[in-house]
Amino acid sequence: MNRSSSLLASALLVGLSVTACGGGGGDKGGGETANTAATPAATETAAAPAAPAAAAAPAADNVDTVSGAKFADFTGDAAKGEAVFIQCKTCHVTDAGVNRIGPSLHAVVGRKASTIAGYQYSEANHNSGITWTAEKLFQYLENPQRVVPGTKMAFAGIQDPQKRADLIAWLATQK
């Protein structure tokens, strides 16, 4: 391997490592250029370490959060939760029978996942076995892709546990 190839391979490995752990968001193409120029063998080798990041979903009845916060430790404020819901309105409404990019969240608290008629759920969501209890929603809203890997919901989550509790308190009123 000549010096140029060695430098390119090193840059690719560093770029992929930074990207895989959430860094590199400010990189305006440096990693992409190296990735485009990489040989398939180098790309496969570099991508292999990222596989463990795709952990299995928690069990349907597991409500442990990444942060360790527990729903029972918070008192949700429905009025504040309505304000939190503004960020959800891009994809969801709480009107019964009205689906948008995401399904209607009318009466979501206590509902089994993947049961709204007329909405095309992901296979992952359909097979999740989840019932949307307040505790499960609290966990899911922290990081949807962690709880249902492969969900169509392209939302990073709400990190603040109080805001999640507030949102759930408001959603519980939408019946």
For tokens 């948008």, name the residue. 100
CA atoms within 13 A of residue 107's CA, in its CB half-sphere: 8
Q: What is the pLDDT of residue 55?
A: 73
Q: What are phi and psi of 131, to 5 degrees?
A: -110, 130
The stretches of 28-143 forming alpha helices (DSSP H) are 30-37, 40-47, 78-85, 123-126, 134-142
Q: Are 107 and 116 in contact (CB under 8 A)?
A: no
Q: At what angle do helices 3-20 and 30-37 cross, to 10 degrees?
A: 130
CATH H-level superfamily of 71-171: Cytochrome c-like domain (1.10.760.10)
Which residues are registered as beta bridge partners of 131?
Answer: 112
Report whether pLDDT(92) > 80: yes
For the chain, the average pLDDT equals 79
Rounded average pLDDT over 79-89: 98
Report whether pLDDT(13) > 70: no
Report whether pLDDT(40) > 60: no
Report whether pLDDT(47) > 90: no
Question: Which tokens go with 130?
Answer: 């989840």
Query: pTM for this structure?
Result: 0.69
Report whether pLDDT(77) > 80: yes
Question: Which tokens go with 165?
Answer: 């509790």
**Where are the domains positioned within the chain?**
3-53, 71-171
pLDDT tens digits, 98-155 = 999 999 999 999 999 999 999 999 999 999 999 999 999 999 999 999 999 999 999 9
Residue scoring higher pLDDT (48 or 141): 141
Q: What is the pLDDT of residue 30?
A: 36
Please state the length of the chain.
Answer: 175
DSSP, res 131: B
Q: Are 138 and 159 in contact (CB under 8 A)?
A: no
